[in-house]
Amino acid sequence: MAPTVEVLTSEMVVPAEEAPAGTIWLSNLDLAARRGYTPTVYFFRPNGDPGFFAADVVKGSLARALVTFYPLAGRLALDGAGRVQVDCTGEGAVFVTARSDYALDDLMREFVPCREMRDLLVPPAPAPDPPCALLFVQVTRLRCGGAVLALSMHHSVCDARGAAHFFDTWASIARGDAAAAANAPVPPCFDYTLLAARLARVVLYDHPEYKPEPEPVDAATAASDYASAVIVMTKAQVGALKARCLGASTFRAVVALVWQCVCRARALPPEAETRLYSMIDMRARLDPPLPTGYFGNAVVRTSVSATVGEVTSNPVGHTARRALAVTSQGDDYARSLVDYLEGVDAMNLPRSGISRAHLRAISWMGMSLYKADFGWGAPAFMGPAIMYYSGFVYVMNAAGKEGALALVLSLEPESMPEFRKVFAEELASLDVI
């Protein structure tokens, strides 16, 4: 019999102190973000403490974190013109406790992001349209004494870096850091007018990533039919790969190899177009830069196209140089995009899957998500609870393995076995010292 999860309690957690009221205007980048919740999971090993992930500690620290991150206790709403905004109502976040007959080692061995795992470990969320809550949390105690902490946060409010900022602050409050109990280590910034369109709009780029694909998306992709996998690259493998991609960042080097292997696994014809999509954090790239604690969506979609033959027949270093185009944008690109979005219906942009020939790669590297310690140790694993469609890869630091990376990938079910094979062959061919 498959392990199950039993929900024990479900309640609303409100800020521990009175928080600011009013409304928060959202930028065009917030409106252009995927309209929905981003569910993530964190697996924790038991440490012998009888208070390990006690519900009152987790709930109490969440209430204090919501004082500083008060928009998360509000509701997505519409202004008088029908534009999405946040109403800071202080109604709170949904907090669920549950128990499961899973053991942590079994769960970690079986886990891949999919609907079944999301439905087991993440609290159900409503339709992501106004009015709706912005944050859902579930603590699931496991048979072995371990725990799973799951979050589901509305993407219209913040991107992954903003979510990491909140999560790190919440964890520091839970473990009793005195400074964090009063204020976030880095105060969050909710002034999204910093990304407002200019009065005299200047659109310098075409921004095809925000337009419908010219060709129809494959039926299988549109139906979100995928297989997913979690693959770990060791520190030595990452170093050897970067040595083949001189001058490339770690992210570009890894994505270049994944792109090559995906094209091979899909058996795409050499003359076919393949496009690499990504999301780039613009906080430090703007002039002037955004405040360090900027909490909203500050990422922009980018892409580069090539023929399948160019991607697969050249050394991985060539493909990494090709991928430079998706990570090199600066202030003029971001401001052009914000101005472009001012002239379109940013709330109803295409947000479906991508063509079977393409790949979307997202970096979660350098974020503190996998280190978050609530007082009982860092997670044994963290990652997305679900993938939304085929052709998606997250690149993140591997929990507990300094310098190693975890790739969380989704592909068409018929392509995944071949991808695993060719990717393993490529890793084995690296000159690992």
Residue 251 has a pLDDT of: 95
Average pLDDT value for the chain: 90
pTM of the model: 0.92
Closest residue by Cα to residue 393 from 225, 276, 304, 308 = 276
Give yes or no on whether 5-195 and 211-429 have one common fold: yes
pLDDT at 426 over 80: yes
Residue 41 reports pLDDT greater than 80: yes
What distance in Å separates the CA atoms of residue 390 and residue 395, rounded to the nearest whole number?
16
Q: Tokens in use for 65? A: 């974190």
Q: Quick count: other Cβ atoms within 10 Å of Cβ 59?
A: 18
Task: Spell out where 206-314 has E strands.
Answer: 227-233, 273-281, 299-307
Domain boundaries, given as residue ranges, for the chain: 5-195, 211-429
Mean pLDDT of the region 180-192: 74
Q: How far apart are CA 150 and CA 140, in angstroms?
A: 8
- Check pLDDT > 90 for residue 264: yes
pLDDT, average across residues 143-155: 95
Nearest to 155 by CA among 175, 135, 174: 135
pLDDT at residue 222, rounded to an integer: 44
- Which CATH fold topology does 5-195 show? Chloramphenicol Acetyltransferase (3.30.559)
Told to judge if 155 belongs to the known catalytic residues of this protein, a careful annotator would answer yes
DSSP code at position 299? E
pLDDT at position 232 is 94
The string of DSSP codes covering 127-166 is -SSSSEESEEEEEEE-TTS-EEEEEEEETTT--HHHHHHH
Bridge-based pairing of strands 392-397 and 405-411 is: antiparallel
Residue 350, pLDDT above cutoff 70: no
**178: pLDDT confidence band, cut at 50, 70 and 90?**
low
Give yes or no for residue 215 having a pLDDT over 90: no
Mean pLDDT, residues 231-246: 94
pLDDT of residue 261: 97
Beta strands in 174-256 (DSSP E): 227-233
3-state secondary structure at position 422: helix
Mean pLDDT of 257-286: 94
> What top-level class would CATH report for the domain 211-429?
alpha beta
Summarize pLDDT for 114-133 with one digit per residue, the tens: 999 999 999 998 888 889 99
Residues with Cβ within 8 Å of 213's Cβ and at least 6 positions away in sequence, in order, are 350, 354, 355
Q: Would you mind telling me the total number of residues written for the chain in this entry?
A: 433
For residues 186 and 239, the model is more confident at 239
Confidence of residue 217 (pLDDT cuts 50, 70, 90): very low
pLDDT: is 2 or 54 the higher one? 54
Tell me: the pLDDT tens digits for 305-334?
A: 999 999 999 999 999 999 888 888 899 999
Confidence of residue 366 (pLDDT cuts 50, 70, 90): confident
Which of 154, 155, 165, 358 is the catalytic position? 155
pLDDT of res. 422 = 96
Percentage with pLDDT > 90 across the chain = 76
